[in-house]
Amino acid sequence: MKFFIDDGYVSLNHVGEELCGDKVEIVRKENGTTIVLADGLGSGVKANILATLTSKLLSIMIASGADIEECIASVISTLPVCKVRKVAYSTFTVIHIDHNGKGYIFEFDNPPLIYIRDGKLYNLPREKKTIMNKNVYCSIIDGKENDTIVFCSDGAPHAGIGKTMNLGWSIEDIADYIIKNYRIDMSARQIAAMVGETCNALYMGEPGDDTTVGALKLITPLAVNILVGPPVNPEDDYTMADSFMRTEGLKVVCGGTTSKIIARYLHEDIKTSLNYYSPDVPPIAVIKGIDLVTEGVITLGKVLDVTQHYLDIKSVDSKALDEKDGATLIANLILKRASHVNLFVGTTLNPAHKDLPIDLSMKMKIVENLKKCLEECGKIVTIQYH
């Protein structure tokens, strides 16, 4: 794997609607990732059904290896045309990219995507093709590290029309805004949320159209290893620590007893910080040779909370990972930098928790839910129980 494909998106519903008329489908397989953004005509239930049908059909067929032009022809031929507006009932953007950074893009009546390379706007050539008498634009991708692709439904450039702006927010304005605020350490979802947050502000919190902004970014694969809790048998302390330390990648240690085990293994001291960045999260510590040392189950539970908030497609909080407490620092590693997350979980009951509403089953539930969340955003997650 040359690149890990980091992706994410946010969606704003048309004011007064429970369902979004935009739909994003992401299919991840060993040979790469397929992303389809479909925008159903209008809003509400009908738009949602049409967008869902379009995105499902395209993503499944393309991810299964079907010819892209045949897939698009099949979808276009099945979509009815609005008798009043004379346009198709669903528009779409298709991105298919493998782990070498090679792939293609097809765009049908959606706003043109924004391609960022080396922190600058990159002019990706677009070729016009005629499929089923419709103009479809095709681009070939040959990606480099940190290349970022931002795509959106027409709710984004329409943001603010009749409220904060006369003519909306053009795709050129959106591109300039992204470049101005782009940081190389931003994840794909952070970039999408940043644009979505501004769209929501331009709509004054009442979107006049369904608005979806998505992004993908090519990052170097990186493993993050997290050790939480001592093993059931104390005689296994060294074996667990040895397995953890020999696993390639960044090292995160959670828990007081666990930290002592690792400190003994490394023959190093534990230095505890007195800085409380959050009243809900205990302070971090430092062990030479370890990238991050935190408290155990309470911090891990907060990591799950931060992760769930970060992945909520309705959340346009672009600053969700800006805090400096231990839980947010872990979330930064596993959400922004990691391609692989390896969890080493000790299954002994911590005597320090005997008077607290924390037990082993709670820790196992947190770990399993965290694994599920990370897998939903494409991370490769393993769990070793000790």
Asked if 202 and 233 sit in the same domain, the reply is no
Percent above pLDDT 70 for the chain: 93
Asked if 196 and 245 sit in the same domain, the reply is no
**165 - beta bridge partners?**
161
- pLDDT band per the 50, 70, 90 thresholds, residue 77: confident
For the cut 60, the answer to whether the pLDDT of residue 272 exceeds it is yes
Asked if 124 and 238 sit in the same domain, the reply is no
Q: How far apart are CA 314 and CA 159, in angstroms?
A: 16
Read off the tokens for 231: 């093993």
Q: What is residue 78's predicted lDDT score, i.e. its pLDDT?
A: 78
Read off the tokens for 209: 């159209």
The stretch 74-79 carries a mean pLDDT of 82
Q: How far apart are CA 287 and CA 177, in angstroms?
A: 41
Least confident of 25-29, 71-75, 215-219, 280-284: 71-75
Asked if 244 and 302 sit in the same domain, the reply is yes
Q: What is residue 359's predicted lDDT score, i.e. its pLDDT?
A: 61
Asked if 62 and 210 sit in the same domain, the reply is yes
Residues in the chain: 386
Number of domains, the chain: 2
For the cut 90, the answer to whether the pLDDT of residue 274 exceeds it is no
- Contact, 381 vs 371, CB < 8 A? yes
End position of a domain, from candidates 219, 247, 274: 219
Asked if 243 and 293 sit in the same domain, the reply is yes
Asked if 30 and 75 sit in the same domain, the reply is yes
- pLDDT band per the 50, 70, 90 thresholds, residue 48: very high
For the cut 60, the answer to whether the pLDDT of residue 354 exceeds it is no
Asked if 270 and 157 sit in the same domain, the reply is no
End position of a domain, from candidates 201, 219, 237: 219
Phi-psi region of 277 (alpha: psi -120 to 50; beta: other; left: phi over 0): alpha
Asked if 266 and 167 sit in the same domain, the reply is no
* 228-257 core/surface letters (b: 16 or more CB in 10 A; e: else): bbbbeeeebbeebbebbeebebbbbbbbbb
Q: What is residue 378's predicted lDDT score, i.e. its pLDDT?
A: 93
Read off the tokens for 194: 């940043």
- Helices (H) and strands (E) in the chain — how many of each? 9, 18
Q: What is residue 88's predicted lDDT score, i.e. its pLDDT?
A: 55
Nearest to 97 by CA among 186, 188, 10: 188
Q: What is residue 100's predicted lDDT score, i.e. its pLDDT?
A: 97
Asked if 80 and 174 sit in the same domain, the reply is yes
End position of a domain, from candidates 165, 190, 219: 219
Asked if 289 and 210 sit in the same domain, the reply is no
Task: Give the H/E segment covering residue 321.
Answer: none
For the cut 70, the answer to whether the pLDDT of residue 12 exceeds it is yes
Q: Where are the alpha helices (DSSP H) in the chain?
A: 44-63, 68-78, 171-181, 188-202, 237-246, 256-266, 297-311, 326-332, 360-376
For the cut 90, the answer to whether the pLDDT of residue 351 exceeds it is no
Average pLDDT of every residue of the chain: 92
Asked if 273 and 334 sit in the same domain, the reply is yes
Residue-number span of the structural domain to which 52 is assigned: 4-219
Strand residues in 30-169 grouped as ranges (E): 32-40, 90-97, 102-108, 114-117, 120-121, 127-131, 134-142, 148-152
For the cut 60, the answer to whether the pLDDT of residue 68 exceeds it is yes
Per-residue pLDDT reduced to its tens digit, 131-149: 988 899 999 999 999 999 9
CATH code assigned at 20: 3.60.40.10
The stretch 359-382 carries a mean pLDDT of 92
Q: List strands edge to edge, sheet with 250-254.
A: 271-272, 285-286, 292-294, 250-254, 223-228, 340-345, 380-385
Q: What is residue 141's predicted lDDT score, i.e. its pLDDT?
A: 97
Q: What is residue 90's predicted lDDT score, i.e. its pLDDT?
A: 86
